[in-house]
Amino acid sequence: MPYPSRGCGTCRTRRIKCDGVRPHCTQCTKSSRECSGYEADAGGLPFRSENVYAAGTARRPRDGRDSKSRSLHSSHSKSPKKSPRKRKFPSESLSKSPSEREGQLSSLTGPSSARASSPDIRLEYLQFVRSLNGPLENQAVIYYVRGYIDPALLVDSVADNLGSVLNKPTHVQNSTLELAVLAVSLAVFGRTRRSGAALLTGQEKYTQALGLAKQSVASASKAISDETLMSVMMLASYENIVCDFSARDTLYWRSIHHLKGAMTILSLRRSLNTLSERNLGLDKNIRRQVIRHSLTHGFTVPSYLHNGLEFGEQGLELTFDGYIIRLSQLRAQGITVWESLRNTLSTDPLEHQRLKDSAFNLISEARKLDTELAAWATQIPPDWSYVSQDLPPEAISATGTESSALYYTTTVQVYLNLSHATTWNRYRAARIAANTIMARALQHLQPPPDHPQASVISAQYTLAVATNTAFINAICASVPFVFGRVKLPEDPADTAIEVVKHAPPPEELSARKAFLLSWPLVISAAALGLEEAQRAWLREKIALIGRITGNGQLAASARIDHGVQSPHVDLAALRQGGRSQS
């Protein structure tokens, strides 16, 4: 008697091998097909997976032993190896990291370490997944949760608060939030898996969620709820995913509209004193996203978001957010000044001179901020330092075309974890933003060559561009680490960085990890004085992250000229004699 097939019905019909992953096999998921399930699950023979690796829910370790076996082996070993987290980096290999520093960095990139010991956040979605109507919605939500939510990263993300809001006692099924989550999940699944059915269904869910959201914000009691706030943020995420917009597309303004709607809700929650320990984490993460978004899009942060203490910020992260707020204000002021300088050059000499004075003030404030940021970095704990080394070119080329494209140069950096890398890259992005403000102001103020101040302004511009180049190179050097192409050696005594020879394709990086690079790369690509080759490389990586995450905003950002990205003003026309950005 033949043994019954263990594959799903769809794979048996297609006569291909099924990997048996539940609830939907990988073959069906990759080909955007509906997985019809397994006979064993429908009352047939009970097939049992002996472990999580056989079930396909976890990746099998290379050494053949699971985590329990490894811990048991290490506990009985007479000379256990030191943990990689205890590794002490050699001081000569540190880049811009003082060897002795004081201070604590509790949560610049996320909540405290207590969150690492909490249950897997994906379990919070089980009830929601079970309530879905069809296999397409089921696949999309599971795909989104697995790719976009990773509690182990300890990096701030609004999506990390989604599970707790969905499981609140006051939450109801088929609510605005559930429809918004479905819309985002289907949009991500549709773009990354090229599923037209998912995109169409996601659009329907978005339309329904948008209608319910308008009703919710009309009521003050509903508007300040966690569900409404989370729904508005998910609607903004949907617009960013599906809208392949240009800088002036009306769809772009929808995304900004949703974000500003969330900011209004934050203001209302603060004025009504509804914040508590229960929901403060959600407000904190949204505030951080708004602050970073304001810098890249050229608008000021509202005053009710300035005081981070009211949102639970403390320590170094409180100071850093204050720097980003000030940078956003300077950039927004600068956008207005640059445009006015060009318009008044020949029409109003007095006003033009006043604007030049404003530009000099912007340079002074940006330089002050840059100095404060440099001092802030000296307070980062030494344990957060990193190793920077030059790899042999043949070691990089041996990894293949896809992997070698992730290296801008042979210089790479390795960190203890992705949270540390994110902290350093966000710091570098802030320094780049400050120096870009200075460089652009100096570019507009550049006098004729025979002017007495021409050489001074030119030297200051060159210094700002050189500073930007150094920090951008550092961000580029961290890209291979984030993509898992380089790592620390197993032996703590070995200081040489190892190149991962058989890494998975770059597109298989989780969206959650890929997003960690998006903000620093976008800031870097907007810097003045970049070589064309490096700007093109940065845009390629932004486009890659856009494909991994299914984010249309990043895909568009990789194509447009960042000098004219701001929705407020066209910065393409520059004073003759200044250096070209593009």
As a residue count, the chain comes to 582
Residue type at 462 in one-letter notation: T
CA atoms of 369 and 271, how far apart (whole Å): 30
CA atoms of 74 and 560, how far apart (whole Å): 53
Tokens of 451: 């002017």
pLDDT at 566: 31
CA atoms of 183 and 238, how far apart (whole Å): 7
Query: Coil, strand or helix: which one is 486?
Result: strand
Residue type at 185 in one-letter notation: S
pLDDT at 275: 60
Tokens of 242: 């599906």
The contacts of residue 341 (CB under 8 Å, 6+ apart) are 352, 355, 356, 359, 444
> DSSP state, 470?
H
23 preceded by cis ω (within 30°)? yes
Which segments in the chain show pLDDT lower than 70?
A: 1-5, 39-131, 150-161, 163-164, 167-174, 244-256, 273-279, 344-347, 559-582
Is the CB of residue 212 less than 8 Å from the CB of residue 248? Answer: no
What is each CA distance from 541 to 402, 406, 460, 506, 516, in whole angstroms? 12, 8, 30, 10, 12
Q: Give the bridge partners for 413, in sequence order.
A: 388
Which contiguous run of DSSP H or E holds residue 478?
helix 454-482
pLDDT at 495: 78
Query: Coil, strand or helix: which one is 498?
Result: strand
CA atoms of 292 and 285, how far apart (whole Å): 11
Is the CB of residue 428 less than 8 Å from the CB of residue 320? Answer: no
The contacts of residue 500 (CB under 8 Å, 6+ apart) are 399, 484, 485, 486, 487
pLDDT at 125: 63
Q: Give the bridge partners for 389, in sequence order.
A: 412
Which tens digit of pLDDT belongs to each residue from 116-174?
333 343 555 666 666 677 789 888 988 888 888 765 665 566 666 676 677 665 555 66
Is the CB of residue 141 less than 8 Å from the CB of residue 181? Answer: yes
The contacts of residue 128 (CB under 8 Å, 6+ apart) are 141, 166, 178, 181
pTM for the structure as a whole: 0.74
A 10 A CB-CB count for 499 gives 19
Domains, in order of start, for the chain: 9-60 (4.10.240), 122-309 (no CATH), 314-564 (no CATH)
What is each CA distance from 259 to 109, 304, 455, 528, 565, in whole angstroms? 21, 15, 44, 28, 18
Longest dimension (CA), the chain: 97
The contacts of residue 353 (CB under 8 Å, 6+ apart) are none
A 10 A CB-CB count for 459 gives 11
Q: Write out 346-389 in H/E/C secondary structure.
A: CCCHHHHHHHHHHHHHHHHHHHHHHHHHHHHHCCCCHHHCCEEE
Is the CB of residue 285 less than 8 Å from the CB of residue 252? Answer: no
What is each CA distance from 439 to 43, 367, 434, 455, in whole angstroms? 69, 10, 9, 14
CA atoms of 303 and 432, how far apart (whole Å): 24
Would residue 194 be called left, alpha or beta, if left means φ above 0 and alpha means ψ between -120 and 50 degrees? left
pLDDT at 46: 45
Tokens of 187: 């949009």
pLDDT at 436: 96
